[in-house]
Chain A
């Protein structure tokens, strides 16, 4: 027998915090791999939200979506690392600061 009430808020706030930390990482980090790490943080924040709402609304779809997000995150990391590798190979450095060919 299981019965417990948990505040929905605590998950959402945790998620918001993780997300914004991820945003900071994406904005402030120079190394491509670190930027990807931060993106993972943001994706996880979204997943926590999805699962929390799934439990809150008693709708299984949220969990399914979380699974999809995990799958897509795997794909994203694969492609992302490939891009970072390419940048590294072309510029001899993983620094994103130097990727500024779009400069106006």
Chain B
């Protein structure tokens, strides 16, 4: 299966074509093709995953490296746990054929399957499969249902192509296809102006980053002399590498990652992208599109590692971007009324963690966080979709249309709760393990600054998710419909994702002696020697405590006035007594508390500042540019346009008019007159040719 992994992206691609061609005529409008093909793709990914794991285990069992030697190394040099990298690891399975060759430049098309790719394929196909199933119910009756499914399949196929690609050009193809699909899907309901605006914004913003990305690919090509990913990685780690080219190339590639993964300062498209249907948001945020940037960073990690001198510690561009993004995203999440926007900013913040982790050299932690984040973020988005689908009449406004839904939608509530806790990093859910690994490595590898940033992020994450959960599920119902639980097509994916959100973290639970993730998925060849931080109990305790404090403060602020009692008050409240009055007061209090939190606290100030920065500085720059352009334009208009150009144009127009008047006679509309001209011309031309020869 590993050698035939090209089937995995191919199946959704076939599904795309099939749905486009015959989708409308099928009984379920093409959904069955999409679900079936992506399901098959998911099954193949599982097979590939199992085979890869066997491969790794065989490799280690055969005495070539692995456990035995690692144990020895551990014994000899206890501080350095990662001694296994000194030995040849499990090589990636590659397979390719030459597409074209020109002047010594060879361009292959092929696959490179290693632990990272296998893991990513599993995540992408799994989340995509869940989204496909979910959409059968969520998108039911949509006017472009078939198109939606076709594009969903293409989206999956493009992301998988990006994942299996063995060279940067092929990767770029997948990268751009992902951008294109997200553009179309965000603008799925393009009849409404904001939606099409959001789609265009997403497309253009990511395109800005892509310019850098393409330049980066070209620079790296000229540095390494190959598009092959393995070749590039080996080059970057070799002694003969040109460091200047690597720095420039890595910076350009980082720009691409910033655009694609919604990092500061190009993060603004991501919240707007919420205009798309919720399943698309889930797919974009969890498995495709935004994590493409992180995946790329992990794929070409040696380039960034050498380019940004990550081993030297201190502060580098990648970690800094990630760190800023964590804070910016988390702070903005506090001021949103739209549940999907809260999640969007949360994604920005979490992707920031991954980029920061890459920046501090915590490769495994970054990829691990990507892995766990995919599950709980997909869960949260699909949960939000479930709420709007069945609870709030297709609204996402937490303050006006939600509240008190936990009684009406128990499954959605509990799964959402699990997702939120996982996101907040509460032991022992998935988010805890991955986030903790990032923090541990950051602390271990002389990146204390980012350790603090990470803890701050964990605190805020916990707090804003508490607010979000409270507004959605607690208090009184503020909508106008009949909230009810969603159908099974929606709840089953939620439960599946919730299950994984709980257990996914355990495969790299260091204190339990499980480090399977590292073992299975970390590349063995063409990879820098990384230090793996030991599990730090103090740090883990601190981070969980931080998160709990975040939850506690938020919960206290929102719950105290309503006599709900304990933290995370899941207890029933006296709804009948408060029914009418509490509704109004509740709203009032929320606004007041909201103001208190924002105005009184530091982070509130930052929220305002960063929102202000968003609104004024960035917009200001754009506006200033616009205004400058207008001024220049007006000056040009007065001086040049009115006199010189207009004069010329009027002259030309008059001449054209006169000529047209003359030519009008020629264009009589009578075919025979045209034929006359034609034959005369043919005769004249043949005469001329004859005379010339």
Contacts and interface: CB of A to CB of B under 8 A. Distances in A.
A and B in direct contact, judged by CB atoms within 8 A: yes
Interface of A: 23, 26-28, 35, 96-97, 99-104
B685 to A, nearest CB: 15
A99 B671 contact: yes
Contact of B663 (A26, A97, A104): A104
B670 A96 contact: yes
Contacts of A35: 672
B676 interface: yes
Contact of B675 (A26, A102, A104): A26
Interface of B: 663-664, 667-672, 675-676, 679
Contact of B672 (A27, A102, A103): A27
A100 B676 contact: no
B669 A27 contact: no
A83 to B, nearest CB: 11
B664 A104 contact: yes
B686 to A, nearest CB: 12
Contacts of B670: 96-97, 99-100, 103
A100 B672 contact: no
B523 to A, nearest CB: 65
Given A23-B679, A27-B679, A96 B664 contact: no
A4 B672 CA distance: 43
Nearest to B665: A104
Contacts of A27: 672, 675-676, 679
A96 B672 contact: yes
4 smallest beta-carbon distances between A and B, as pairs: A103-B669, A104-B667, A100-B669, A102-B669
A104 B672 contact: no
A102 B676 CA distance: 16
A28 B675 CA distance: 10
A27 to B, nearest CB: 5
17 contacts: A26-B672, A26-B675, A27-B672, A28-B672, A35-B672, A96-B671, A96-B672, A97-B670, A99-B669, A99-B671, A100-B670, A101-B669, A102-B669, A103-B667, A104-B663, A104-B667, A104-B669
A99 B671 CA distance: 8
A26 B672 CA distance: 7
Nearest to A28: B672
B676 A103 contact: no
Given A96-B671, A103-B667, A103-B668, 15 more contacts: A23-B679, A27-B675, A27-B676, A35-B672, A96-B672, A97-B670, A100-B668, A100-B669, A100-B670, A101-B669, A102-B669, A103-B669, A104-B664, A104-B667, A104-B669
A23 B664 CA distance: 25
A100 B673 CA distance: 11
A23 B675 CA distance: 9
Contacts of A102: 667, 669
Contacts of B664: 104
Contacts of A26: 672, 675
A96 B679 CA distance: 18
A26 B679 CA distance: 11
B125 to A, nearest CB: 55
A66 B616 CA distance: 79
A35 B669 CA distance: 17
Contacts of B675: 26-27
A14 to B, nearest CB: 19
A88 to B, nearest CB: 16
A96 B676 CA distance: 14
Contacts of A28: 672
A95 to B, nearest CB: 11
A96 B667 CA distance: 15
A13 B672 CA distance: 25
A96 B670 CA distance: 8
A101 B668 CA distance: 9
A70 to B, nearest CB: 23
A97 B664 CA distance: 17
A29 to B, nearest CB: 8
A99 B675 CA distance: 14
Nearest to A27: B676
A22 B667 CA distance: 24
Contacts of B669: 99-104
Contacts of A103: 667-670
Nearest to A104: B667
A27 B683 CA distance: 14
